[in-house]
Amino acid sequence: MMPMGTQEKPSSLENAVFYVGLLVFMGLVGYLVFQIFSNDALPADLTVHFERLPEEECGFEVRVFNKGETTAEAIDIVMDLEQSGEKVGEIEAQIDYLPIQSERRLRIKFENTNGRCDSLVLSSVVFMEP
Amino acid 38: pLDDT: 74
CA distances from 1 to 7, 8, 123 (A): 12, 11, 85
> Does 130 have pLDDT greater than 60?
yes
Q: Is 53 helix (H, G, I), strand (E, B) or coil?
A: coil
Q: In this predicted model, what pLDDT tens digit does every residue of 51-94 receive, in sequence order? A: 988 887 888 999 999 998 889 999 999 999 888 888 888 899 99
Q: What is the pTM of this model?
A: 0.64
- Looking at 31-35, 59-63, 122-126, which range is the least confident one? 31-35
- pLDDT for res 94: 94
